[in-house]
Each structure stands twice: as structure tokens, then as C-alpha cells.
A and B are shown apart, each in its own frame.
Chain A
Amino acid sequence: GNSVTQMEGPVTLSEEAFLTINCTYTATGYPSLFWYVQYPGEGLQLLLKATKADDKGSNKGFEATYRKETTSFHLEKGSVQVSDSAVYFCALSGSGTYKYIFGTGTRLKVLA
């Protein structure tokens, strides 16, 4: 079945550091891939998405590229801020299905 694996946290960085959160997936066909962010006490917000191979999703300085050859969708940001502290979830939606499969989440803490 479909699955998502993302790096375990917590990840602690200093402000302006480079961020990478790894995400790999297993799926048949051509899934859509997503990154969601969850701030403390809040719901999930869609951060970015990609619907086909080689697509790059980007938003608020975050980027992720859909790599079919490595089945990966790693999240990156060149310079993190304290306000980026949150839990980040990688997710996929399999082609022809409606269920979203989520990774376990990676907690990011950015220190001033």
C-alpha cells in the first residue's frame, strides 16, 4: 500500500539556517504530494504541493521538488525564522484515490 516516511524530529536550528526535511514515499501510479504545516494548537495548513514528476511546489520561501526517480519530496528553506517553528507533515494522495496518507510529522524549532 501507499506510505510516507519522513525524517524524525525534533529539528532544532538557529535563525537564518538552511532547512531540509526529508520525505520519501511509496505509491503506485502518480500520486500528488503535499507539505502541510501545523502551528501549536492549530489545524493543518497547506504549505505547498506538486501533482506530477519534476514539479516544484513553493510558498513562503519553502520549496519541494517531486522526484519520481528517488520517490522523494524533500522540504527546503534557505533561511528559517523563529516564526517557522511548527510541525511539518508530508502527505500523498494516490492517483485515483481520495485518501491522504500522512507522514508522522517533523517538529521544527528555530532559535533566535
Chain B
Amino acid sequence: NAGVMQNPRHLVRRRGQEARLRCSPMKGHSHVYWYRQLPEEGLKFMVYLQKENIIDESGMPKERFSAEFPKEGPSILRIQQVVRGDSAAYFCASSPPLGQGSHEQYFGPGTRLTVT
């Protein structure tokens, strides 16, 4: 059973460009979470999605950031007009549907975004 997959692993963007980060949850998992890790800090919750629904985006910056989890395909975290402060590691986690085992989150390897 493959784990949570994220791509790309490393992404370099110039200021003002768009960044698209992808996350494929574990097989059978329908809940996806995105976290951001700034340099020398812990992970901070950004958004929680289920298929075709955003459940909680309370940790997302109000502007330039958006996330989706379509019926088919991976979850996408999109950052428009990136700035240097967006440089961070972005981690995706997934968990099974409620009532199917624990709600434990399984983390992917992360995407390291560098804005130049």
C-alpha cells in the first residue's frame, strides 16, 4: 500500500509566479490535510479537505492561497503570485473516512518551495 505521495519534492519559483503542489492520499483515504513548515519551526495546519469539499481552511492565508480535492485526481495546493515569505516545506497528510479505523494522519514527504 503506497503511502501519501507529493510532487514535486522540490519547487523553485520566481517572485510573482504560481506554485502548484500535488498530493495523492493513501489508498482508501478520503480526507486530506495541508500543513506548512517555515524554516526552524513546527508544522502549522492550513486546510482540511474531503473529496470536492473544503471542510476547514482556517489556517490558510486569506489571499493568494487556495486548495482543492477533486472527485478524481490529487489534491492541489495553489499559491498565486508567490513571495519570498512563501518559501517553506508544505506537507500533505491523509486519513481514512470517519468510522473506518483511527483518524490518524499519515504524512507525505513534503514539497520544499523556494521563491527566488
Interface residues of A (CB under 8 A from B): 4, 32, 36, 42-46, 49, 51, 89, 91, 93, 98-105
Contact = CB atoms under 8 A, between A and B. Distances in A.
A101 B44 CA distance: 7
Contacts of A44: 43, 91, 107, 110
Given A98-B33, A98-B103, A99-B48, A42 B109 contact: yes
Contact of B42 (A43, A45, A98, A102): A102
Contacts of B44: 102
Given A43-B91, A43-B108, A43-B110, A98 B43 contact: no
B107 A43 contact: yes
Interface string B31-67: 1010100001111110010000000100000000000
Chain B: number of interface residues, binned into ranges: 20 to 34
B41 A104 contact: yes
B54 to A, nearest CB: 13
A45 B41 CA distance: 17
B109 A43 contact: yes
A46 B4 CA distance: 13
A102 B37 CA distance: 10
B114 interface: no
Residue among A43, A46, A105 with most chain B CB within 10 A: A43
Contacts of B109: 42-43
A89 to B, nearest CB: 6
